[in-house]
């Protein structure tokens, strides 16, 4: 049998937002004419889907439809600081702060309506583009409510800042590394099923089951997208990608030599989203961008071992390395059999 | 060379224009006709972002000389969404969440359109083969396949057109729903403008002179011949930096352009702004630099030795950062252990390979604000650093984040924005720089290559008593994110396990290699690769199921981490259980069970590929057996 299958697994953990420093972000929100929402914050899309996540969060908090949320361009001269787009921090830091700013804008609008309708602010509800007071006939559109507020000289705006309760770690001379590097942690586990061609050494990753805690999934499809993309990047590093240098010069300066995973290299990814809400932030969300990538490589290496009994310690596990390891293993086993026979 | 007169039908319109004969069809479409929907991801026929139809055939327009399009019918991504109405396939990409950064998507949509034209009933495996020439770095392709299958079924009437519509949120509950991405229509239609697609009136084009040496002193730079060339507006070097030169996420050790010496091959030495990119390129070639070779150091372990070449004077031991973590008494822990296993692991440098190569525009606005538009992952920090470099108050520096065509950490560094700002200030004209793929690969940060020694002591029952890890990473020529990567790598190195005795040391080391920097999973990928491989080796020795050994050691609610932080809720046990159940895992020690397992080949496993793989030779051999 030239092709052998096997399975392996690995777990992971990861910290959300900036490491061992205080992270922070700010946002402005406005419930605009016509009942749409305007959000301005200093960071944008790097492909992960954050704009959609922020639109959903603002829509949820203010009570409008996601398609009625406009997100301002991020620009250091026009938007409040939201720091950087990395560290799996976008949904956590910016998502939470957009929720807080949206709540403040909503509170302003609700305050006006409570006064106008002469009801307690707590009885006012918003949703789906409407605002109403419970157990009354008061119900108007958000657009009408904004007009009411403006007629009373109020523009329903809000702003917020969100910071983490974190510290540096003791990593100076003689330090023990102690500290509180993050306030939100995520955990995950992946199982990989592989097929190893014992003639060519080629490994195909056929499936990955990926279970990750994300706190709360704002957009499950987006979470899956992060998991799928992360796993495939990890497979690239695990099996094929290799930036090679000789005396400081690279021999892999193009995609002909620098091999990336293509549509034929990818496994079926089965994502399982776990929600263990973050107790600190207002939304319970955490993050997924980076943790998705962490367990894949060891899960695949463990699966290769399961299939053919060789383990690759030096990435990437190219067909040549697998074949070499299999040959060595066969040689070792033959030597042992000889010894046993003697 | 005389221009050629090109007559063609482009997106349904007759076009008759003069074109420079050296142009590729892609340049003609993007630069001359401003049809920027199709992208240049590689310029070498390897990524598919430039895919268009020529006489109905899918063609990589970066490989086609413009003259070859004479008389042809050319359709670009812009042709698919007639008057803004997305095609069924584009709608399916939107619905399925198939676009992330979007940079590969115009080419992918073209290839998928061709696939369904060729076979309207193509199954998933055929779709994969037909998309094999198009690279996507973000999505893992799965949702792209989903989208093509969805479009196929709608086109064939197997699914109603309503399958393409927005998820219903009428119940008001918006969070937790897979609402369609709000940025997808602009990405599937090619309408979204990335920095390299943007033009400004009077814009100059920038090219960069790069170091051919890994370690050399710059004796002199003569820019006079370049400056004298017609069409050249400005040439800058490190001497043109008005403020305090230096950037980096942690240490500001990297000059905008090499100062006094070069530290890696590909480092920027000078930059030219000219009326067009070709002139700028010629001017770059006319700059004369005299170098004096210095001894380079390429191996981080060598660089740590006494007497090794020094990359930065401020760090005579070449250590960018060392991070220690200490818990308990690790030697006592090993002494107590029933079994101690030691192994070495290593990981290689890899390239982010975002499909969008670096690009940016800069200009000085009417209020003298130096403005840089680029796909930067950290506009806030970049503005602080640039203000110091150009000696301006922060209020006179503005960063605008253009759509990022993939980042993965690689666009956190301010590697080229400084040159753009300086050239804009010098010329008082808008300037634009677009990297080639080669430039992007040779000169920008990589994932830290690592060498790890890991020792773990366990009891017969599977409890881990002690863990000692030492990881040395090649940080390359500049600090960038190395300090942070070493920190995160160390904090997370021992995995989510309660271990009473821990000693972890991570070292980021300067060498004369391409710098290493931020890369998705930031050091944790390297250390946890070692730890999680190691756990399986130990589980085999102890005869334990791999889930079991992890459960035995798993952090639980209220656990104390290796940095002595007390956690609240810990979801690890839930994650283990979920993966175990979903995969239908058959319990057993990881002792090469392989084909004897009963849990292989479930429905949620893809078929193995037998045709069209890049390792096709193997299949022929197998068939011959
Ligand atoms: S294939 Fe043409 S740009 Fe990559
Ligand atoms: S979405 Fe495909 S490269 Fe980013």
Is residue B101 domain-shared with residue B123, that is, in the same domain? yes
| Residue among A6, A44, A55, A76 with most chain B CBs within 10 A, to mutate | A76
Query: Are residues A325 and A312 in contact, defined by beta-carbon separation less than 8 angstroms?
Result: yes
Q: Which of B40, B41, B137 to mutate to test the pocket of ligand 2 (most atoms within 8 A of CB)?
A: B137
* Residue B83 confidence (pLDDT): 87
User: Is ipTM beyond 0.85?
Assistant: yes
Ligand closest to the CA atom of residue B437: 1
Ligand 2 mean position, distance from CA B188 (Å): 11
Backbone angles phi, psi at B94, to 5 degrees: -65, -50
Query: What integer is the mean pLDDT of A91-97?
Result: 98
Of B234, B226, B223, the C-alpha closest to B274 is B234
Is residue B284 domain-shared with residue B360, that is, in the same domain? yes
Rg (CA), chain A: 26
Task: Point out the residue among B46, B213, B613 whose CB comes nearest to the CB of A264.
Answer: B613
Is residue B237 domain-shared with residue B385, that is, in the same domain? yes
- C-alpha B206/C-alpha A151 separation (Å) is 53
- C-alpha A315/C-alpha B361 separation (Å) is 38
Query: Are residues B216 and B261 in contact, defined by beta-carbon separation less than 8 angstroms?
Result: yes
Of B354, B344, B314, B303, the C-alpha closest to B476 is B303
| B616: pLDDT strictly greater than 70 | no
* pLDDT per residue as tens digits for the range B441-488: 999 999 999 999 999 999 999 999 999 999 999 999 999 999 999 999
Is residue B17 domain-shared with residue B99, that is, in the same domain? no
* Residue B615 confidence (pLDDT): 40
Ligand 2 mean position, distance from CA B406 (Å): 7
Q: Nearest residue of A to residue B513 by CA position?
A: A248
CA distances from B475 to B56, B296, B413, B450, B513 (A): 48, 14, 14, 9, 8
* pLDDT per residue as tens digits for the range B260-276: 999 999 999 999 999 99
A7 and B575 within 8 Å at the Cβ level: the answer is no
> Which domains are present in chain A?
3-13+191-240+267-333 (3.30.365.10), 24-163 (3.30.365.10)
pLDDT band at A1 (very low <50, low <70, confident <90, very high): low
Q: Interhelix angle for B105-118 vs B142-155, to 10°?
A: 40
| B613: pLDDT strictly greater than 80 | no
In a domain, B581, yes or no: no
* Residue A44 confidence (pLDDT): 76
Of A285, A188, A127, the C-alpha closest to B528 is A188
Order of all β-strands in the sheet with B370-374: B232-237, B268-274, B204-210, B431-434, B359-364, B370-374, B397-401
A249 and B177 within 8 Å at the Cβ level: the answer is no
What average pLDDT is seen over chain A?
Answer: 97
Tell me, what DSSP letter sits at residue A179? B
Is the CB of B8 inside a 6 Å radius of any atom of ligand 2?
Answer: no
Query: Are residues A238 and A231 in contact, defined by beta-carbon separation less than 8 angstroms?
Result: no
Cis, bond preceding A316 (omega within 30 deg of 0): yes
| Residue among A251, A263, A287, A323 with most chain B CBs within 10 A, to mutate | A263
Is residue B2 domain-shared with residue B102, that is, in the same domain? no
Q: Which of B139, B145, B357 to mutate to test the pocket of ligand 2 (most atoms within 8 A of CB)?
A: B139
A263 and B145 within 8 Å at the Cβ level: the answer is yes
Query: What integer is the mean pLDDT of B401-406?
Result: 96
Ligand closest to the CA atom of residue B141: 2
CA distances from A143 to A105, A130, A151 (A): 14, 8, 12
**Residues of A with Cβ-Cβ distance to B456 under 8 angstroms:** none
Torsion sign across C-alpha atoms B103, B144, B59, B610: positive
B100 and A225 within 8 Å at the Cβ level: the answer is yes
In a domain, B498, yes or no: no
| B196: pLDDT strictly greater than 60 | yes
- Classify A278 as helix, strand or coil: coil
Is residue B88 domain-shared with residue B63, that is, in the same domain? no
Is residue B92 domain-shared with residue B115, that is, in the same domain? yes
Ligand closest to the CA atom of residue B42: 1
Ligand 2 mean position, distance from CA B106 (Å): 10
* Proportion of chain A above pLDDT 90, given as a percent: 96
Ligand 1 mean position, distance from CA B77 (Å): 14
Torsion sign across C-alpha atoms B197, B198, B204, B210: negative
Query: Are residues B467 and B364 in contact, defined by beta-carbon separation less than 8 angstroms?
Result: no
In a domain, B175, yes or no: no
* Residue B164 confidence (pLDDT): 96
Is residue B9 domain-shared with residue B145, that is, in the same domain? no
| Residue among B321, B583, B595, B603 with most chain A CBs within 10 A, to mutate | B583
* pLDDT per residue as tens digits for the range B373-393: 999 999 999 999 999 999 999
Ligand 2 mean position, distance from CA B61 (Å): 19
| A183: pLDDT strictly greater than 60 | yes
* Residue B623 confidence (pLDDT): 35
In a domain, B134, yes or no: yes
What average pLDDT is seen over chain B?
Answer: 96
Atom 1 of ligand 1, residue of closest alpha carbon: B45
| Residue among A69, A77, A281 with most chain B CBs within 10 A, to mutate | A77
Is the CB of B48 inside a 6 Å radius of any atom of ligand 1?
Answer: yes
Is residue B135 domain-shared with residue B282, that is, in the same domain? no
Which one has a higher pLDDT value, A301 or B172? A301
| B611: pLDDT strictly greater than 80 | no
Q: Which domain holds residue B43?
A: 1-75
- C-alpha A282/C-alpha A284 separation (Å) is 6
CATH at residue B69: 3.10.20.30
- C-alpha B288/C-alpha B291 separation (Å) is 10
* Proportion of chain B above pLDDT 90, given as a percent: 95
Atom 4 of ligand 2, residue of closest alpha carbon: B101
Query: Are residues B318 and B2 in contact, defined by beta-carbon separation less than 8 angstroms?
Result: no
Is residue B185 domain-shared with residue B107, that is, in the same domain? yes
Q: Which residue, chain included where needed, has tokens 């997370």?
A: B492
Instruction: Tell me the shortest Cα–Cα distance from A290 to chain B, in angstroms.
Output: 5
Active site residues of A: 290
Which of these ranges, A70-84, B228-242, B493-507, has the smallest mean pLDDT? A70-84
- C-alpha B418/C-alpha B256 separation (Å) is 6
Is the CB of B125 inside a 6 Å radius of any atom of ligand 1?
Answer: no
**Residues of B with Cβ-Cβ distance to A291 under 8 angstroms:** 521
- C-alpha B407/C-alpha A233 separation (Å) is 13
Residue B291, CB half-sphere, CA atoms under 13 Å: how many? 18
Ligand 1 mean position, distance from CA B311 (Å): 37
Tell me, what DSSP letter sits at residue A91? I
Torsion sign across C-alpha atoms B280, B283, B288, B293: positive
Of the residues B388, B420, B443, the one at which a domain ends: B443
* Residue B617 confidence (pLDDT): 40
Tell me, what DSSP letter sits at residue B515? P
Is the CB of B47 inside a 6 Å radius of any atom of ligand 1?
Answer: yes
* pLDDT per residue as tens digits for the range B508-522: 999 999 999 999 999
Of B576, B530, B537, the C-alpha closest to B553 is B576
Query: Are residues B211 and B284 in contact, defined by beta-carbon separation less than 8 angstroms?
Result: no
* Nearest ligand 1 atom to alpha carbon B43: 3
Neighbours of B451 (CB within 10 A): 19
Ligand 1 mean position, distance from CA B350 (Å): 20
Is residue B268 domain-shared with residue B360, that is, in the same domain? yes
| B166: pLDDT strictly greater than 90 | no
| B614: pLDDT strictly greater than 60 | no
- C-alpha B317/C-alpha B620 separation (Å) is 53
Neighbours of A303 (CB within 10 A): 30
CA distances from B196 to B30, B31, B112, B185, B405 (A): 10, 10, 24, 19, 10
Task: Give the A window 82-101 contacts with B, CB below 8 Å.
Answer: 82-87
* Residue B2 confidence (pLDDT): 86
| B294: pLDDT strictly greater than 60 | yes
Q: Which of B50, B107, B142, B406 to mutate to test the pocket of ligand 2 (most atoms within 8 A of CB)?
A: B406
In a domain, B264, yes or no: yes
Is residue B86 domain-shared with residue B127, that is, in the same domain? yes
- Spell B366-400 as b/e; 16+ CB within 10 A means b: eeeebbbbbbbbbbbbbbbbbbbbbebeeebbbbb
| β strands within chain A, DSSP E | 3-15, 24-31, 37-41, 69-71, 124-127, 130-133, 139-141, 157-163, 185-197, 203-213, 245-246, 249-250, 268-274
B132 and A262 within 8 Å at the Cβ level: the answer is yes
CATH at residue B148: 1.10.150.120
In a domain, B423, yes or no: yes
Task: Point out the residue among A12, A213, A302 whose CB comes nearest to the CB of B590.
Answer: A302
**Strands B397-401 vs B431-434: parallel, antiparallel or unpaired:** unpaired
CATH at residue B225: 3.90.1170.50
**Strands A185-197 vs A3-15: parallel, antiparallel or unpaired:** antiparallel
Of the residues B425, B443, B461, the one at which a domain ends: B443
* Residue B20 confidence (pLDDT): 94
A290 and B612 within 8 Å at the Cβ level: the answer is no
Query: Are residues B471 and B506 in contact, defined by beta-carbon separation less than 8 angstroms?
Result: yes
Query: Are residues B388 and B381 in contact, defined by beta-carbon separation less than 8 angstroms?
Result: no
In a domain, B314, yes or no: no
In a domain, B96, yes or no: yes
Label residue B160 exposed, middle or buried (CB < 10 Å: 0-12, 13-18, 19+): exposed
Q: What is the DSSP string of B477-510?
A: TS-TTHHHHHHHHHHHTT-SB--SEEEEEEEEEE
A11 and B524 within 8 Å at the Cβ level: the answer is no
* pLDDT per residue as tens digits for the range B87-109: 999 999 999 999 999 999 999 99
Joined together, the tokens standing for residue A207 give 């499936």
* pLDDT per residue as tens digits for the range A200-240: 999 999 999 999 999 999 999 999 999 999 999 999 999 99
Is the CB of B546 inside a 6 Å radius of any atom of ligand 1?
Answer: no
Of A164, A203, A173, A44, the C-alpha closest to B192 is A44
Count of domains forming chain B: 3
Atom 2 of ligand 2, residue of closest alpha carbon: B136
Of the residues B192, B225, B242, the one at which a domain ends: B192
Of B325, B279, B258, B253, the C-alpha closest to A172 is B325
* Residue B625 confidence (pLDDT): 32
């Amino acid at each position: 049998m030239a092709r052998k299958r096997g399975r392996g697994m690995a777990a992971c953990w990861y910290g959300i937002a900036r490491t061992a420093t205080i992270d922070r972000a700010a946002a402005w929100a406005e419930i605009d004419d016509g009942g749409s929402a305007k959000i301005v914050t200093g960071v944008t899309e790097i492909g992960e889907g954050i704009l959609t996540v922020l639109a959903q969060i603002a829509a949820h908090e203010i009570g409008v439809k996601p398609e009625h949320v406009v997100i301002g361009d991020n620009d250091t001269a026009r938007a409040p600081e939201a720091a950087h787009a990395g560290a799996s921090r976008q949904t956590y830091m910016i998502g939470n702060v957009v929720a807080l700013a949206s709540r403040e804008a909503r509170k302003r609008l609700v305050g006006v309506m409570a006064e106008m309708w002469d009801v307690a602010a707590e009885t006012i509800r918003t949703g789906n583009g409407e605002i109403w007071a419970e157990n009354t006939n008061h119900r108007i559109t958000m657009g009408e409510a904004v007009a009411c507020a403006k007629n009373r000289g109020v523009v329903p705006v809000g702003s917020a800042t969100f910071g983490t309760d974190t510290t540096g770690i003791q990593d100076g001379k003689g330090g023990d590394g102690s500290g509180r590097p993050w306030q939100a942690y995520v955990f995950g586990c992946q199982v990989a099923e592989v097929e190893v061609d014992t003639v060519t050494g080629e490994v195909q990753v056929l499936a990955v089951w990926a279970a990750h805690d994300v706190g709360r999934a704002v957009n499950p499809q987006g979470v899956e997208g992060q998991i799928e993309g992360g796993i495939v990047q990890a497979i690239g590093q695990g099996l094929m990608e290799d930036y090679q240098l000789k005396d400081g010069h690279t021999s892999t300066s193009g995609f002909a030599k620098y091999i990336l995973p293509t549509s034929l290299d990818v496994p079926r990814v089965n994502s399982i989203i776990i929600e263990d809400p973050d107790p600190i932030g207002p939304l319970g969300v955490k993050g997924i961008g980076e943790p998705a990538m962490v367990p894949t490589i060891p899960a695949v290496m463990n699966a290769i071992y399961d299939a053919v009994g060789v383990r690759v310690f030096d990435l990437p596990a190219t067909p040549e390395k697998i074949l070499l390891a299999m040959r060595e293993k066969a040689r070792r086993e033959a030597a042992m059999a000889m010894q046993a026979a003697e | 060379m005389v221009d050629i007169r090109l007559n063609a039908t482009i997106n349904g319109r007759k076009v008759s224009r003069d074109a420079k004969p050296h142009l590729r069809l892609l340049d003609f479409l993007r630069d001359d006709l401003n049809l920027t929907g199709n992208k240049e991801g590689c310029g070498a026929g390897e990524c598919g972002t430039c895919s268009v139809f020529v006489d109905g055939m899918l063609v990589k327009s970066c490989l086609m000389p413009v003259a070859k399009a004479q008389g042809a019918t050319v359709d670009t991504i812009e042709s698919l969404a007639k008057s803004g109405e997305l095609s069924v396939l584009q709608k399916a990409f939107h619905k399925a969440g198939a676009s992330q950064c979007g940079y590969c998507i115009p080419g992918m949509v073209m290839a998928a359109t061709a696939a369904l034209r060729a076979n309207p009933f193509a199954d998933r495996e055929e779709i994969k083969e037909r998309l094999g020439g198009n690279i996507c770095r973000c999505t893992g392709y799965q949702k792209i396949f989903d989208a093509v299958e969805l479009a196929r079924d709608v086109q064939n009437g197997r699914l109603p057109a309503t399958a393409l519509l927005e998820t219903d949120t009428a119940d008001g509950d918006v969070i937790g729903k897979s609402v369609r991405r709000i940025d997808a229509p602009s990405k599937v239609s090619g309408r979204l403008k990335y920095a390299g697609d943007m033009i400004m009136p009077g814009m100059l084009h920038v090219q960069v002179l790069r170091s051919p040496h890994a370690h050399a002193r710059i004796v002199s730079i003569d820019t006079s011949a370049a400056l004298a060339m017609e069409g050249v507006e400005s040439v800058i070097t490190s001497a043109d930096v008005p403020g305090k030169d230096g950037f980096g996420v942690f240490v500001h050790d990297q000059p905008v352009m090499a100062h006094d010496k070069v530290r890696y091959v590909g480092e920027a030495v000078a930059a030219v702004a000219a009326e067009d990119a070709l002139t700028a390129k010629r001017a770059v070639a006319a700059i004369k630099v005299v170098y004096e070779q210095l001894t380079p150091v390429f191996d981080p372990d060598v660089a740590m030795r006494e007497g090794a070449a020094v990359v930065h004077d401020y760090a005579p031991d070449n250590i960018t950062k060392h991070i220690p973590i200490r818990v308990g008494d690790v030697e006592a822990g090993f002494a107590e252990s029933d079994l101690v296993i030691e192994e070495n692991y290593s990981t290689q440098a890899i390239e982010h390979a975002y499909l969008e190569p670096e690009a940016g525009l800069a200009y000085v606005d009417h209020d003298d604000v130096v403005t840089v538009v680029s796909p930067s992952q950290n506009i806030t920090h970049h503005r602080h650093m640039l203000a110091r470099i150009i000696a301006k108050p922060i209020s006179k520096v503005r960063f605008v984040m253009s759509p990022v065509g993939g980042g993965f950490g690689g666009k956190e560094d301010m590697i080229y924005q400084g040159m753009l700002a300086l050239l804009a200030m010098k010329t008082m004209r808008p300037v634009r720089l677009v990297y080639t793929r080669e430039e992007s690969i040779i000169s920008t940060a990589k994932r830290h290559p690592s060498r790890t020694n890991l020792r773990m002591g366990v009891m017969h029952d599977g409890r881990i008593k002690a863990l000692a890890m030492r990881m040395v990473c090649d940080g390359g020529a500049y600090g960038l994110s190395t300090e942070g990567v070493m920190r995160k790598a160390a904090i997370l190195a021992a995995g989510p396990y309660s271990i009473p005795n821990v000693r972890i040391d991570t070292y980021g080391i300067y060498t004369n290699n391409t710098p290493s920097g931020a890369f998705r999973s930031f050091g944790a990928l390297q250390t946890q690769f070692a730890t999680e491989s190691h756990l399986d080796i130990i589980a085999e020795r102890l005869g334990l199921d791999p889930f079991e050994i992890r459960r035995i050691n798993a952090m639980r609610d209220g656990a104390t981490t290796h940095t002595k932080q007390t956690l609240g809720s810990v979801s690890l046990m839930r994650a283990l259980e979920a993966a175990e159940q979903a995969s239908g895992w058959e319990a057993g020690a990881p002792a090469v069970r392989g084909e004897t397992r009963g849990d292989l080949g479930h429905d949620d496993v893809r078929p193995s590929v037998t045709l069209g793989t890049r390792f096709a030779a193997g299949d022929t051999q197998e068939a011959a057996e």
